[in-house]
């Protein structure tokens, strides 16, 4: 088609528009406060007095690492990572539909897959620092070795990549995507996945927690995949979600 906008240019246009729309004072303050709360919890646990008089140094270090893995998995991967990703990813195409920006893009000959990728990249750009920084600081505050910090940063990045793609897809499927997304995060990722390995296999949290288990040897109920699987599956989830989002955008009627 003559005058068709290239995929790269479409990604750049979508990305630039959405970055301006997504970065609002209210969102940044609210989610930064959640991240700060996670850091404070980590600091409190790391500095809590323990009855360690009868324990040797190795046992003390193990106990502290177990506390650290539990806190990061429970609070970081069950609350902070999915909620931050949801707030920004679900708002990308949802906000564009509400304010008419998506109609503006639809009037130009742009490939739909590139719009989906641009939306995902914009939410990824904002979500990564809002999760990596507080969870990295939490791992440090828990007074553990660098292996946990590396595992936390890797698992967080993998989780954000998958969640943002999933919630971009959700934004193309339903209105009020944040409400539906919260239901998914609370019910499926937070509750159902904790009750069995089968459910954890189809929950992103199961794979992020598996990275912690693989790199620290601390067992978590929802983390029983190998590190390779725990990295590859969320990436495949992200690819599949973006593919479905692109197909959905191709059939979406914008008014």
Residue 152, phi then psi, degrees to nearest 5: -65, -45
Kindly state the tokens that stand for 154: 């890797």
The answer to whether 152 and 135 are in contact (CB under 8 A) is yes
The answer to whether 210 and 224 are in contact (CB under 8 A) is yes
Give the domain ranges of the chain: 7-250
Mean pLDDT over 60-82 rounds to 81
Which position has the higher pLDDT, 21 or 125?
125
Which position has the higher pLDDT, 55 or 10?
10
DSSP alpha helix (H) spans, the chain:
7-22, 25-46, 57-71, 81-99, 101-106, 112-141, 146-173, 177-183, 197-200, 204-216, 227-251
Which position has the higher pLDDT, 239 or 65?
239
Instruction: Using pLDDT thresholds of 50, 70 and 90, give the confidence band for residue 2.
Output: very low
pTM: 0.89
In sequence order, what are the residues at sequence separation of 6 or more whose Cβ sits closer than 8 angstroms to the Cβ of residue 233?
207, 225
Mean pLDDT over 76-93 rounds to 91
Which position has the higher pLDDT, 101 or 58?
101
Distance between CA 17 and CA 99 in Å, rounded? 12
pLDDT tens-place string over residues 134-173? 999 988 887 667 888 999 999 999 999 999 999 999 988 8
Distance between CA 167 and CA 189 in Å, rounded? 14
Which position has the higher pLDDT, 214 or 121?
121
Mean pLDDT over 84-107 rounds to 79
pLDDT at position 70 is: 84
Distance between CA 195 and CA 187 in Å, rounded? 11
Residue 224, phi then psi, degrees to nearest 5: -130, 20
Could you tell me which of 181, 175, 209 has the C-alpha nearest to residue 88? Answer: 181
Question: Which sign, positive or negative, has the C-alpha torsion 56, 58, 63, 64?
Answer: positive
DSSP annotation string for 44-61 = HHHT-----TT--HHHHH
Residue 63, phi then psi, degrees to nearest 5: -60, -45
Round the average pLDDT of the chain to a whole number and report it.
83
Q: What angle do CA 252, 21, 173 make, to 5 degrees?
A: 25
pLDDT tens-place string over residues 19-64? 988 888 888 888 888 888 888 887 776 665 555 555 555 555 666 7
Per DSSP, 223 falls in state B
């Amino acid at each position: 088609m003559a005058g068709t906008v290239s995929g790269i240019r479409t990604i750049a246009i979508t990305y630039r528009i959405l970055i301006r729309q997504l970065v609002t004072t209210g969102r940044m303050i609210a989610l930064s406060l959640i991240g700060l709360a996670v850091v404070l919890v980590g600091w409190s646990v790391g500095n809590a007095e323990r009855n360690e008089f009868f324990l040797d140094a190795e046992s003390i270090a193990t106990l502290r690492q177990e506390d650290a893995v539990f806190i990061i998995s429970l609070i970081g991967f069950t609350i902070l990572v999915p909620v931050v990703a949801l707030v920004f990813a679900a708002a990308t195409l949802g906000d564009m539909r509400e304010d008419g920006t998506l109609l503006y893009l639809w009037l130009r000959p742009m490939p739909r897959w590139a719009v989906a990728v641009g939306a995902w990249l914009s939410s990824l750009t904002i979500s990564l620092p809002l999760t990596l920084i507080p969870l990295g600081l939490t791992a440090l505050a828990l007074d553990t070795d660098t292996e946990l910090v590396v595992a936390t940063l890797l698992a967080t990045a993998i989780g954000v990549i998958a969640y943002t793609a999933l919630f971009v897809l959700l934004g193309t499927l339903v209105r009020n995507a944040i409400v539906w997304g919260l239901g998914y995060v609370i019910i499926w990722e937070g509750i159902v996945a904790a009750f069995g390995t089968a459910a954890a296999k189809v929950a992103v949290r199961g794979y992020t927690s598996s990275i912690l288990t693989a790199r620290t040897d601390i067992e978590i109920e929802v983390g029983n995949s190998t590190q390779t699987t725990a990295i590859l599956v969320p990436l495949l989830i992200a690819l599949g979600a973006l593919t479905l989002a692109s197909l959905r955008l191709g059939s979406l009627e914008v008014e």
